[in-house]
Chain A
Amino acid sequence: MSKSIKYYYDFLSQPSRALWIGMKLSKTPFEDCPVALRKQEQLTDEYKTINRFQKVPAIVDGNFQLGESVSIVRYLSDKGLFSEQLYPKSVEGRARVDEFLEWQHLNVRLVCSLLFRSAWLLPAKGLAPPPKPEVVQKLIKDVEANLGLVERIWLEKDFLIGDKLTVADIFGASEINQMKLCQYNVSEKKFPKVAKWLERVRDATNPYHDEAHAFVYKASKQKASAKI
């Protein structure tokens, strides 16, 4: 029996959560290797031998090491270890999911992580004072410009790529959920489709969704269903 894949991750990382949920739903066999970002375990020399970029998530499959969540999904899929419903094998179907996965980096992911960093991470670690209200307002404006694109362009159907859940939804939702930590909740009034879709993704991916987001919910001191 071949050794299972080692998965290095932390639930504070959005792509770590997304990939973990995707693997759980796919029944991918993997060995849990948590890396505590809060203790800066990713910056040790030991971890550098696992992932030379010193980031999570990463996998080690025998002698093969790979970073970057999206490339890991593709690797696992081609190895037959990832659900075809979540990441299609047909050329056209896959390209539709890829289109979102590539789009999100400099859109949803960038703006949500900038708000998270500025309003939660840096102040929480004592690296920066809490941001001024006008800075937060500006960051929220950028976030909402992107939520607007998700609402108007991506969510023509129940999920981002059609009527069924794919990894695109899991990655997208994980980025947006991160902002709960800085008390940003998607407004049902402003973004009714996005708000409903987030619930749909949660339902479709539970119990793994709540398990992966336990820290996010706890640290933001609100229940999964809390709404502002």
Chain B
Amino acid sequence: MAVSILASLLGLTNGSEDQMQLAFEEVTRRRTPVRQATHLKMSAPIRYYYDLMSQPSRALLIIFRLSNMPFEDCVVALRNGEHLTDDYKREINRFQRVPCIHDNGYKLAESVAILRYLSAKGKIPEHLYPKYFVDQSRIDEFLEWQHMTLRLTCAMYFRTVWLEPLLTGKTPTEAKIEVMRMHMERNLDVVEEVWLEGKDFLTGNSLTVADIFAACEIEQTRMADYDVRIKYPKIRAWLKRVRQSCNPHYDVAHEFVYKISGTGPQAKL
């Protein structure tokens, strides 16, 4: 398994392929500016560095918008390698990734750490990420669980089927795709059978940040032509609920994913 590549999962250094570039340009043109800076307070709004190609970037964008949190939009074009410059490393994020934030000079990376920081600062509503520690730990359990399971295997599938061929021009073998699919489905099984057992959302009967992070990881596989809805009826119904609960922000965040995969919710089949 190409692990070193995983570390640069979001590092599309030479992703200037036509398909991707065209899709991106179209989305960029259509997207309305999301600058929501408030000038009521003296302190500057949080600067949010992200790219919609990154799953956790999308998740945080949806969360911020659902939270009505003012932030300054700082798009980092991964496809142009903007995160790999020395300036980005020195000034923005020493790990050269997205997402990250700057809060009046305080720099923070890692989506889950950012979420907790902003929650502790009172920026995230309690229904999305509870403040009472017992309730919060239920969401934390999912956020910690996902890294080495759902996130890793969906990302590897996406990488093997979509990203690597784009970067190298080589098609993966059927056997390799099959192994990646097996790993991913082992975790989708857990989402279907354990996390979604007897409830509408992952950690209870209402939407939380856990659902948003998970949905963004699963949506990424659309671009690799994987349709999670075929084998997983509970995930299918849950994804609909998540999208409904998050819209219009969900569709804004996934515009690029819909465009590239050609499988948006309104796509004509």
Q: Which residues of A contact B (CB under 8 A)?
A: 52-53, 64, 66-72, 74-75, 78-79, 91-92, 94-95, 98-99, 101-103, 105-107, 109-111, 114, 139, 141-142, 145-146, 149, 153
Residue of A78, A103, A149 touching B110 (CB-CB under 8 A): A103
Closest to B134 in A: A64
Q: Given A99-B110, A146-B7, A153-B94, are A71 and B120 neighbors across the interface (CB < 8 Å)?
A: no
Q: In the docked arrangement, what's the CA distance between A174 and B185, Å?
A: 29
B109 touches A95 (CB 8 A): no
Bound: A70/B116 CA distance, A? 13
- The closest CB in chain B to the CB of A154 belongs to B94
- Assuming the contacts A71-B144, A103-B109, A106-B152, asked whether A91 and B117 have C-beta atoms less than 8 A apart, the reply is yes
Asked if A99 meets B108 with Cβ closer than 8 Å, knowing A109-B148, A153-B95, the reply is: yes
Is the beta-carbon distance between B95 and A103 smaller than 8 angstroms?
yes
Which B residues, 1 to 21, have Cβ-Cβ distances below 8 Å to chain A?
A: 1, 3-4, 6-7
Using known A-B contacts A66-B141, A75-B133, A103-B109, determine if residue A98 contacts B116 with beta carbons closer than 8 Å.
Answer: yes
Q: Is the CB of A53 within 8 A of B190?
A: yes
Asked, given contacts A79-B133, A109-B148, whether A91 binds B3 with beta carbons under 8 Å apart, the answer is no
Please give the distance in Å from B148's CB to the nearest CB on chain A: 6
Assess whether B141 is in contact with A67, with CB atoms less than 8 Å apart: yes
Residues of B within 8 A of A103 (CB): 95, 109-110
| CA A102 to CA B108, docked complex, whole Å | 12
Binding site for A on B (CB under 8 A): 1, 3-4, 6-7, 94-95, 106, 108-114, 116-117, 120-121, 133-134, 136-137, 140-141, 143-145, 147-148, 151-152, 190, 194
Query: Which 4 pairs from chain A and chain B are nearest by CB?
Result: A78-B133, A105-B147, A71-B140, A68-B144
Given the known interface contacts A79-B133, A106-B151, A111-B3, the answer about A70 and B144 at a Cβ–Cβ threshold of 8 Å is yes
The distance in angstroms between the C-alpha atoms of A71 and B143, with both chains bound, is: 9
A26 to chain B, nearest CB (A): 16
- In the bound complex, residues from chain B placing their C-beta under 8 Å from that of A114 are 1, 3
Q: Given the complex of chains A and B, what is the CA–CA distance between A59 and B194 in angstroms? A: 18
CB distance from B92 to the nearest CB of A (A): 14
Smallest CB separation, A75 vs chain B (Å): 4
Q: Which A residues touch B106, using CB under 8 A?
A: 92
Pair B194/A98 contact, Cβ less than 8 Å: no
The 8 Å CB contact of A106, one of B6, B121, B145, is B6
Contacts of A106 in B (CB 8 A): 6-7, 147-148, 151-152
**Which residue on B lies nearest to A107, using beta carbons?**
B7
A sample of 30 inter-chain contacts (CB < 8 A) reads A53-B194, A66-B141, A68-B144, A68-B145, A70-B140, A71-B137, A71-B140, A71-B141, A71-B143, A75-B133, A75-B134, A78-B133, A78-B137, A95-B120, A99-B108, A99-B109, A99-B110, A101-B113, A102-B111, A102-B113, A103-B109, A105-B144, A106-B6, A109-B148, A111-B3, A139-B3, A141-B4, A142-B3, A142-B7, A145-B4
| Residues in A whose Cβ lies below 8 Å from that of B95 | 103, 149, 153
Residues of chain B with a CB closer than 8 A to A75's CB: 133-134, 137, 140
Contacts of B4 in A (CB 8 A): 141-142, 145
B6's partner among A52, A101, A110 (CB-CB below 8 A) is A110
Chain B residues in 8 Å Cβ range of A91:
117, 120-121
Give the complex CA separation of A79 and B133 in angstroms.
8
Q: Which residues of B contact A67 (CB under 8 A)?
A: 141, 145
